[in-house]
Amino acid sequence: MMTEKSMDARMEPDQSGEFERMAVPRSKWKGWKSFLGMYAGEHAAGTEFMIGPLFLTAGVSAFDLIVGLLIGNLLAVLSWRFLTAEIAVNYRYTLYYHLEKIAGKKLVTGYNLANGILFCFLAGSMITVSATAVGIPFQIEMPKLSDTMPNGITWVLIVVAIGTVISLIAAKGYDTVSKAANWMSPIIVLAFLACGLVALNQLEIKGFSDFWNLWGEGSEPFPGQTKYTLWHVVLWSWFANAAMHIGMSDLSVFRFAKSASSGWTTAAGMYVGHYMAWIAAALLYAVYLKTPEAQAFLTNGEAPPVSPGPLAYNAIGTFGLVAVLLAGWTTANPTIYRAGLAFQAIIPRVSTFWVTIIAGAIATFAGIFPAFAMKLLGFVALYGFILAPFGAIIVFEHFFGKRFSLLPFYAAEKNLDFNYAVPLAWGISFGICYFLSFRYDIFLSFLTLPSWILCGTLFLIFSHLFQKR
């Protein structure tokens, strides 16, 4: 571990102010309030308008939804606090620079590219969410769950306009992203609460028993969807942000924290966003399912569309549209920022501003295609499964490296471009677990933790053998 004094001693001039390839100096550390707004805004956001309804399409029961989210979100908060934030304040590096010092520059280039592109696709799905709000005044046809392509030039123009504004704000750096989230998050949280209360009234729910009976024992999943049980909900809600916590992506965020206790602020995102907001959004969709339009889709064997803009507008009017627009914004904004850092690690001579603009352009292009938003449950499970095991390499070296007599930051210390222990560990763990998922039709979130543990363990073993030799 590096001490605060030794980290400050290694500071070098940083023109961008984002400290992409050095530890964040003490003068730039931030208190917990800076992270509270960002996490509340990012996780009470656009994804919530999509995920809540998608749980209903999976036929989840009341017990599985309420209890499963309670447990899964707690596990996510603990992962952020005791893994991500703990390591972040010890080194204060971005994920990309930290991993480069372990794996080598050539090897981490491929990871950074994959990481950045996956983050762009996630941000693109949130631009799609915002577009469903802006599209209401233009009376455009909303995408269906089965849609993959844009349905007209108006949709494309709306997505491009939203993506451009979001990208410009993300390119201004962490301070601007944080300030935007702090301003927007109270509005979004209030809107989710209002939507939930209005939906309860529309569903004529008078007490907890009526609320519980709304889902009852669950139902058969909608056409083309997977049936969710308690364990689906627990593991999916835990690993919905696997790339950020056990995957260590949020090292790039918590490196600015004064102490690891700032990791507790993620609870604001999990229990306001991934609990209250998911349930509120599910209630909105429950209201829609009772309409003749939704029943017509079900009668024809189709899943009714999940369009956040119309759902929120039907509940609380124009305020709902504003909330959906901002909700997509507050998720896409920090996600594009993270993607920009990934690309900047590949092309360090290009300024952070311009690589973030590149990330925003990719995200905007992805947002044109509704497929990423409509298949969000499956996509989030996949990208967490791919990226999380790389975080295990950082975690296992930090906590267990000394026990295996490993030299920390081996690639940097030995001036290596390629540390073979990393691709061997990730490749074997990914190959085994993905084969199990494909061969036996196992939901990917069930295999994220086994893959993560296997990757970290193999990394320790291979590193010990290679360094000893």
What average pLDDT does range 13-37 have in this prediction? 78
Instruction: Determine the Cα–Cα distance for residues 200 and 194; give it in Å rounded to an integer.
Output: 10
In terms of pLDDT, which residue wins out, 1 or 292? Answer: 292
Average pLDDT, the chain: 86
**CA dist list (Å): 328 to 41, 67, 297, 314, 461:** 10, 27, 26, 18, 42
Helix axes 308-316, 318-346, angle to 10 degrees: 150
H/E stretch holding 346 reads: helix 318-346
Region of residue 305 (left: phi > 0; alpha: psi -120 to 50; beta: else): beta
Of the chain, the percentage scoring pLDDT greater than 90 comes to: 39
Q: Are 432 and 454 in contact (CB under 8 A)?
A: yes
Residues pairing with 30 in the sheet: 257
What average pLDDT does range 438-456 have in this prediction? 94
Residue 333 pLDDT > 80: no
Q: State the pLDDT at residue 1.
A: 37
Q: What is the CATH number of domain 28-388?
A: 1.10.4160.10
Give tens-digit pLDDT for 200-245: 999 888 888 888 887 777 778 887 778 889 999 999 999 999 989 9
Residue 191 neighbours by CB under 8 Å, 6+ apart: 312, 316, 319, 320, 322, 323, 327
User: End-to-end alpha-carbon separation of the chain, Å?
Assistant: 25
